Structure 1
Amino acid sequence: MSDFVIQPYFAGTGALGIPHALSRSGWVGLFFLLLSAAMAQFTSCLLIRCLYHPSYSRLESFSDIGYATFGRIGWSVSIGFSQVFLLSTSILYVILAGDNLPVLLYSFTGAQIDRKVCIWILAAAIGLPFVMVRNMRDVSFMSCFSSMATFCLLLIVTVSSTSDFKETVTHAHHDWAIPRNIPITFSTFTFSYCGNIIFPHLEASMREPNSWSKVMFVATFVITLIYVIMGFFCYLVYGDAALVPIYKNLPTAAQNVAMIVVTIHVFLTVPMYLYVFTMSVESWIGLLPHDRQKAATACESSSLLRYPTLIRTIVRIIEMVLCATVAVLVPYFGEFTNLIGTLTGELLTFVLPCMFWIKLSWHQGNHFERTACIFVMLIGIFCAIFGSIDAVTAIVKTLESHGAH
């Protein structure tokens, strides 16, 4: 069950960008996809080990590890990038579903509804379960259904793309390697494996936390298998014409089914990301149970904290409105994915976990762990720098091209 809970934090929108990433890097991208998977597995296990460092009782979150290692600066960097990633990923999901819904409504009903209106409808629909979520077990329950949607998506895209094999493969152009695009391609893969900021909460909700490394290995293996299958067949069939999201290459009927599955996935996944995001926000204002006594002492005269359920509901509605507003203003799914992957994904997935472990457990580790840590951290820094440059350049070009039209 636990591996099904972990999978939605990886798979889904990540899988939709894999074929396009391969079209930018060539077949060598499959090697970097496997490398990214191995690095993500390694850093996720290091991160959980940092939670149980002997000098502390079990730390609760990614930002707690940052504070334990580098004090206030470590906490600020960790919480800053974590919150940006969680919120921007939620926005990315809303952008994706917001692009799908008008097309689906027109295909099945003939109704032409503006994309902006669809986004606000989605925000209202997603906001209802998000407001009602009480704890991590609630969102873990939703993640099981989200995993099923992911496997359905894999089946639809793979079967439909292979059915086009004879018609398109002879015209498809493939490259073995395009070195210039490897940093941004690697960042796309990184985004597809970025879940470290949620893992401490998932590990805490497990019945057997000691099984984390085994559960994580199974989840990473299954997800990588999904990525490799979808990436290989779609790049083989469509070559450098592979679009993002990949279902745009499919025939209309298959495309509509894929969009339905993806939209369901969004409904089930956004509340999970936003819940972890809002845990920090609600903690800051004293709405979490372990913070209420502290907040009540500091704000005894405040009437707001006397109604925690009302305040929590208002806070979550504001967060959902923020997601919808940005999704309306930033309608570029592919470019947004690359930017999130480079600016936050590399740091959260590879760089910061390695820095935490080096500071806390360098002397307890063996030679392999130390070498691997340095290797992973350097790759993360390199791809973050050059991938960010490429991502920003791509967004500027997209904005200019849309402005010209």
Structure 2
Amino acid sequence: MIHLLKGSLGTGILAMPNAFRNGGLAFSLLATIIVGFVCTHTVQILVNSSRLLCRRTRTPALDYAETAQAAFETGPKSIRRYASAAKLFLNSCIVATYYCTSVVYVVFIASSVKQVGDYYTPPDETKWDIRVYMVIFMVPLCMLSLIRKLKYLVPFSALSNVFIILSFCITLAYIFTDMPPLSERSNLASPIQIPLFFSTVIFALEGIGVVMPVENSMKNPSHFLGCPGILNLSMVLIVGLYAVMGFFGYVKYGDDTEGSVTLNLPIKEVKAQVVKILIAAAIVCTYGLQMYVPTQIVWSGLQRYVDDKWHCVAESGFRVGIVFISVAVAAAVPNLGPIISLVGAVCFSTLGLLCPAIIETVTYWDEGLGAGRWRLYKNTVIIIFSLFALIAGSYTSILEIIQAYG
């Protein structure tokens, strides 16, 4: 349960008030619960499909990409030749999702620290541009990205958890102090903003990348699903926390809500400054873990082209290069809100909604899709919703970025 909570509780929860700003109070509250239910369901169907495919292929355990490959290999004959492509596509989605999230991390760190830096900069001196902070933080980010063994990242992850919990507590204290009446906030935002709401919520809620490793490592996997089950308990808690943060955060700050609610905290107060520094430190500490999975996937495919005596140097260069690229992309678009929406629309809607629905449909195609082919119709609805989030969310996010920097 702790692993699942860690996988879903992070910087995304701090973007929930901004999501509610793009949806409106009443609409966002209802839609957050619905999206939470859909995200939980897609995890369930992914795990159930993986278990069935393990029995079918007589394999002890399958990760996400291997589940997709097995589904196509044992599915309808007409699509079996695409099994390797399915695995490659899933691994590419995972890599893109983690690397795009690392860009969000860079913007988040720089935005938080810049506010504190600007406050303490004398009036007669020029305030540093946000890109300067990005370059400064490249040094610790590169150092963390060079850690190649997961066990050495554990202390940083633990420290990050402490920082995040402290930040959440102080942020909630600010939110629940002197809140304006609900009547001052809109219950339904403009239709053009709705895609941004869905993209941000999907970004915040989706932690599907940790699901298969957690389920595969459990001593009693039967406790993962079912009622109540580890998954359902975790998701109820996660959705509840996200709804509370989003609802009351938007009530507190209204249309002035930033991409991260911590950016709304009064910079003149020491507690608020502590929150901004803590949350930046928490993300820095998480960066190495964030980069671990995609780097392992990509480097395992690249290392065969490198001479053995150059492996260490080449891998180090690759890891540092990824940090440089992340900072370069973040510097090009240093606006947190549209980036979160764009990553949620493109990456998490594909990885968390589209792919599980396709995998379940292919897995059960020959065995039967249920009475009246209900699985097919249900998954078709999920696929349509994911494509809506992908296309509309991407379009709206790109428009915002163009308006801001065009």
Q: For residue 75 of structure 1, what is the amino acid of its counterpart?
A: K
In 1, Cα distance between the equivalents of 2:233 and 2:161? Answer: 14
Identify if the C-alpha distance between structure 1 residues 255 and 171 changes in structure 2 by more than 3 Å, giving closer, same or farther: farther
The unaligned stretches of length 5 or more in structure 1 are: 287-294, 401-405
The normalised TM-score by structure 1 is 0.84
Determine if the alignment matches structure 1 residue 158 to structure 2 residue 159: no
The normalised TM-score by structure 2 is 0.84
- The offset of 1:210, in angstroms, is 4.4
In 1, Cα distance between the equivalents of 2:153 and 2:233? Answer: 20
- Choose from 335, 358, 363 the match for 2:361: 358
In 2, Cα distance between the equivalents of 1:59 and 1:85? Answer: 23
- Choose from 320, 324, 332 the match for 1:321: 324
Identify if the C-alpha distance between structure 1 residues 365 and 149 changes in structure 2 by more than 3 Å, giving closer, same or farther: farther
Identify if the C-alpha distance between structure 1 residues 138 and 32 changes in structure 2 by more than 3 Å, giving closer, same or farther: farther
Q: Which residue of 1 aligns with 2:77?
A: none
Deviations 1:232-286, CA, capped at 9 Å, x for gaps: 2112222233222112322222432221221122112222221111011121034
- The offset of 1:356, in angstroms, is 0.7
- The offset of 1:171, in angstroms, is 8.9
C-alpha RMSD of the superposition: 2.8
Q: Which moved more, 1:372-381 or 1:34-43?
A: 372-381
Q: Which residue of 2 aligns with 1:35?
A: 34
In 2, Cα distance between the equivalents of 1:239 and 1:226? Answer: 19
- The offset of 1:353, in angstroms, is 0.8
Q: Which residue of 1 aligns with 2:252?
A: 237
In 2, Cα distance between the equivalents of 1:6 and 1:146? Answer: 16
- The offset of 1:29, in angstroms, is 0.7
Identify if the C-alpha distance between structure 1 residues 365 and 159 changes in structure 2 by more than 3 Å, giving closer, same or farther: farther
Q: Which residue of 2 aligns with 1:291?
A: none
Q: After TM superposition, which residue ranges in structure 1, 4 or more long, deviate above 6 angstroms?
A: none
Determine if the alignment matches structure 1 residue 55 to structure 2 residue 56: yes
Q: Which residue of 1 aligns with 2:78?
A: none
Identify if the C-alpha distance between structure 1 residues 60 and 275 changes in structure 2 by more than 3 Å, giving closer, same or farther: farther
Number of residues paired by the alignment?
381
Q: Which residue of 2 aligns with 1:8?
A: 6
- Choose from 207, 231, 246 the match for 2:261: 246
In 2, Cα distance between the equivalents of 1:103 and 1:5? Answer: 32
Q: Which moved more, 1:338-347 or 1:44-53?
A: 44-53
Identify if the C-alpha distance between structure 1 residues 45 and 272 changes in structure 2 by more than 3 Å, giving closer, same or farther: farther
- The offset of 1:208, in angstroms, is 4.7
Trace 1:275-286 onto structure 2 (pairs within 5 A). 275-286=292-303
Q: For residue 100 of structure 2, what is the amino acid of its counterpart?
A: S
- Choose from 94, 97, 114 the match for 2:106: 94
- The offset of 1:131, in angstroms, is 1.6
Deviations 1:169-222, CA, capped at 9 Å, x for gaps: 489432345444323211111011222234333444555544433333333222
In 2, Cα distance between the equivalents of 1:126 and 1:370? Answer: 44
Q: For residue 239 of structure 2, what is the amino acid of its counterpart?
A: T
Identity of aligned residues (%): 19
Q: For residue 391 of structure 1, what is the amino acid of its counterpart?
A: S
In 2, Cα distance between the equivalents of 1:200 and 1:263? Answer: 29
Identify if the C-alpha distance between structure 1 residues 208 and 271 changes in structure 2 by more than 3 Å, giving closer, same or farther: farther
